[in-house]
């Protein structure tokens, strides 16, 4: 039940941001997408941190290395948030991650976003 409530809150927050056209002070729309081989260690760390907060059972090592475990949980996040089953953190997926549990000011600087 807690997970469902968290997912509903994430969707509501993301929808609210998208509909309002709101931006975030630290948003950096020039950050490239994150995928296997990414050198954006700060962005990868943020992805791992946010995934751990949304899925405590993921227990990802927050190393900044975009390995197989991180990719598996990105895929799960993407599917559960209505995206295709890929492993890339696109700008839209970045928006959803930032709007979920654990998306803080630091990560707005390092994740791809449309804002």
Question: pLDDT tens digits, residue range 79-109?
Answer: 999 999 999 999 999 999 999 988 888 999 9
Domain count, the chain: 1
Q: What is the pTM of this model?
A: 0.78
Question: pLDDT tens digits, residue range 7-56?
Answer: 554 444 444 444 434 455 567 778 999 999 999 999 999 999 999 999 99
The answer to the question of residue 77 being in a domain is yes
The answer to the question of residue 55 being in a domain is yes
Q: Which residue has the higher pLDDT, 69 or 1?
A: 69
pLDDT at 73 over 50: yes
Please list the helix, strand and coil fractions of the chain in percent, rounded to the nearest 5, in that order.
55, 0, 45
The answer to the question of residue 56 being in a domain is yes
The answer to the question of residue 35 being in a domain is yes
The answer to the question of residue 115 being in a domain is no
Q: DSSP assignment of 87-99, as one string?
A: --B-HHHHHHHHT
The answer to the question of residue 113 being in a domain is no
Question: pLDDT tens digits, residue range 102-113?
Answer: 888 899 999 999
Residue (of 37, 36, 50) closest to 113 by Cα position: 50
The answer to the question of residue 6 being in a domain is yes
Domain span holding position 88: 2-108
According to the model, what pLDDT value does residue 91 have?
Answer: 95
């Amino acid at each position: 039940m807690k997970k469902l409530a968290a997912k509903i809150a994430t969707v509501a927050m993301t929808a609210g941001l998208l509909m309002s056209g709101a931006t975030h002070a630290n948003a950096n729309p020039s950050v490239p997408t994150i995928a296997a081989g990414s050198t954006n260690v700060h962005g990868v760390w943020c992805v791992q941190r946010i995934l751990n907060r949304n899925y405590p059972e993921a227990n990802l090592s927050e190393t900044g290395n975009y390995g197989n475990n991180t990719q598996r949980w990105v895929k799960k996040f993407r599917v559960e948030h209505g995206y295709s089953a890929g492993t890339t953190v696109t700008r839209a997926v970045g928006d959803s991650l930032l709007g979920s549990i654990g998306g803080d000011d630091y990560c707005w600087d390092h994740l791809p976003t449309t804002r």
